[in-house]
Chain A
Amino acid sequence: MTEPFVSRAFRGRRQTVPTAGRLPPGQYETRDFPVLSAGPTPRTSVAAWDFTVGGPAVPLARWTWDEFQALPHETVTTDIHCVTKWSKLDTVWEGISIDTLLAEAAARGVESAPYVLAVCDGGYTTNLPLADVTRGKAWVAVSYNGAPLAPEHGGPARLLVPHLYFWKSAKWVRQLRLMERDKPGFWESFGYHNYGDPWREQRYSGDP
């Protein structure tokens, strides 16, 4: 086998000293916030926006933007890890805990289910076990770094599930669909891992 070619003196954009212990295997720290886009930026106005939680059967729990903003907000400081190998540490978000949304939905008669499919403006989807969006692990974020979430970063609202690779933190989220059966989303059905734990480096389908 031939030695792979190494470009003389090339380092790339990586930070020289990774912050020890906080980076999952194979990740590099970045200070930017790369915008990775799989399509045009949806531009839903808050007037037209709503958020729903529900299963195949009615009822659906629904909130308008104002109703959504009236729910208790939490500030979250967390590290995020993208499967394309960049990680950003100590990012600050504000949003509504999914525990809050699910409790509200249950109070309105929505039945629980073991899996969740996040459905977004523009058609993107991602799937998660219910257990991974409960007990303080996930939010619907409406602001980043103290300012309302910009459209190119997923605004008006995006999912925030920082313990998994960031493709699960779906931008432009509009609905959490509660499902009896797991339904792989956009990337999960196309080469990427169904679960996506950065600490076990579960990037691609077939990774243990």
Chain B
Amino acid sequence: MNTAPVPASSHAAKIAWRLATVTSIVAETPHVRKLVLDVPGWPGHRPGQHVDVRLTAEDGYQAQRSYSIASASQDRLALTVERLDDGEVSPYLTDVLTVGDRVELRGPIGGYFVWDVAIGGPLFLVAGGSGIVPLMAMLRHRAAALETADVRARHNVPARLLYSSRRWDDVIYRSELARLAQDDETLEIAFTFTRETPEGWTGFQRRIDRMMLAEVAWPPGERPHIFVCGPTPMVEAAATALVELQHDPALVKTERFGPTGGSA
């Protein structure tokens, strides 16, 4: 399998629908599953890209949704799916799919909401709920790319993540984020909780707002590359606040997930 990251925009071929096989399913949180997929001929992807998943019923009825790729470019294709109770596709992916099942998908898609170390830093990531998924792909890629790099290289692309969740149990990639931050002083992570805070929590406990962003983000003069992802209302509030804080709008990239914060 080709493991080198390939810029998707340089592909000459159209992105075709393919059949992927589920090789493992892992519970990340009570409502979130990681699906690891084997995709023959997968061309690789850039952090931040997504795939379209298409389900077809016996009578031909189809439903299609987009899911951000969670894995870094060098790894196997993994999607992280949040189960939405009233969703049409997500409950199938989280509850019905089993190892060995096949699922139709196409990708990688999207060259706009992508980041890799070649783009440079500082990198400021703002995540709401399952919006963490494409941003995690960026952090995983960053960690892998800088693994053998020297301290100076790391300091050239420092990263900060502001991650909003309802409660501690809903934080996806909890232990992995802790480990990444622990191993790398150039990565800082701030959490905020909107419904319940963990015992003894002294950090943020409210929705992401302008004041919080002013505290956590780099000053606009540093010209950080900013990526905001999550439910549409949260993304709009954060993006508006960042521009009000004088960040260059051209450096603020958003990926709205729609009203419920995840593809249904």
A residues engaging B (CB < 8 A)?
4-14, 28
Q: Please determine whether A10 and B92 come into contact, CB atoms closer than 8 angstroms.
A: yes
B residues 97-118 touching A (CB-CB < 8 Å):
101-104
Query: Which chain A positions have C-beta within 8 A of B102?
Result: 5
Contact count A vs B, C-beta below 8 Å: 35
> What 1/0 mask marks residues of chain B from 46 to 62 whose CB sits below 8 Å from any chain A CB?
00000000011110110
B residues 76-103 touching A (CB-CB < 8 Å):
88, 92, 96, 101-103
Q: Please determine whether A7 and B19 come into contact, CB atoms closer than 8 angstroms.
A: no
- Between A and B, 24 residue pairs with Cβ closer than 8 Å are A4-B56, A5-B19, A5-B56, A5-B104, A6-B56, A6-B57, A7-B56, A7-B57, A7-B103, A7-B104, A8-B96, A8-B101, A9-B92, A10-B55, A10-B56, A10-B57, A10-B63, A10-B92, A11-B57, A12-B61, A12-B63, A12-B88, A13-B63, A14-B61
> What 1/0 mask marks residues of chain B from 100 to 138 whose CB sits below 8 Å from any chain A CB?
011110000000000000000000000000000000000
Query: Which chain B positions have C-beta within 8 A of A7?
Result: 55-57, 92, 103-104
Query: Which chain B positions have C-beta within 8 A of A12?
Result: 55, 57, 61, 63, 88
Instruction: Known A5-B19, A5-B102, A8-B101; judge A13-B88 contact (CB<8 A).
Output: yes
A7 to B60, CA, bound (A): 10
Query: Which chain A positions have C-beta within 8 A of B88?
Result: 12-13
A10 to B64, CA, bound (A): 12
The smallest C-beta distance from B28 to any residue of chain A, in angstroms, reads 22
Kindly list the 9 A-B residue pairs having the minimum CB-CB distance in the complex, ordered from nearest: A7-B55, A13-B88, A10-B55, A10-B57, A5-B104, A6-B56, A12-B63, A12-B61, A7-B56
Closest-by-CB residue of A relative to B61 is: A12
Closest-by-CB residue of A relative to B17 is: A5
A11 to B55, CA, bound (A): 9
A11 to B96, CA, bound (A): 11
Query: Which chain A positions have C-beta within 8 A of B104?
Result: 5, 7
A8 to B98, CA, bound (A): 10
Given contacts A4-B56, A12-B61, 19 further A-B contacts (CB under 8 A): A4-B60, A5-B19, A5-B56, A5-B102, A6-B56, A7-B55, A7-B56, A7-B57, A7-B92, A7-B104, A8-B101, A9-B92, A10-B55, A10-B63, A11-B57, A12-B63, A12-B88, A13-B63, A14-B61
Query: Which chain B positions have C-beta within 8 A of A13?
Result: 63, 88
Query: Which chain B positions have C-beta within 8 A of A14?
Result: 61
B residues engaging A (CB < 8 A)?
19, 55-58, 60-61, 63, 88, 92, 96, 101-104
Majority secondary structure, A binding face: loop
Instruction: Known A4-B56, A5-B104; judge A10-B96 contact (CB<8 A).
Output: yes
The smallest C-beta distance from A89 to any residue of chain B, in angstroms, reads 19
A141 to B121, CA, bound (A): 54
A132 to B173, CA, bound (A): 57
Query: Which chain A positions have C-beta within 8 A of B56?
Result: 4-7, 10
A10 to B88, CA, bound (A): 10
The smallest C-beta distance from B190 to any residue of chain A, in angstroms, reads 32
The smallest C-beta distance from A152 to any residue of chain B, in angstroms, reads 11
Query: Which chain A positions have C-beta within 8 A of B55?
Result: 7, 10, 12
A14 to B102, CA, bound (A): 22
A9 to B63, CA, bound (A): 13
The smallest C-beta distance from A38 to any residue of chain B, in angstroms, reads 15
A13 to B56, CA, bound (A): 12
Query: Which chain B positions have C-beta within 8 A of A9?
Result: 92, 96
The smallest C-beta distance from B1 to any residue of chain A, in angstroms, reads 22
The smallest C-beta distance from A1 to any residue of chain B, in angstroms, reads 14
A8 to B19, CA, bound (A): 13
The smallest C-beta distance from A133 to any residue of chain B, in angstroms, reads 33
Query: Which chain A positions have C-beta within 8 A of B103?
Result: 7
Query: Which chain A positions have C-beta within 8 A of B57?
Result: 6-7, 10-12
Closest-by-CB residue of A relative to B87 is: A13
Closest-by-CB residue of B relative to A35 is: B259
Closest-by-CB residue of A relative to B96 is: A9
A98 to B230, CA, bound (A): 44
A5 to B55, CA, bound (A): 9
A5 to B92, CA, bound (A): 16
Query: Which chain A positions have C-beta within 8 A of B58?
Result: 6
Query: Which chain A positions have C-beta within 8 A of B101?
Result: 8
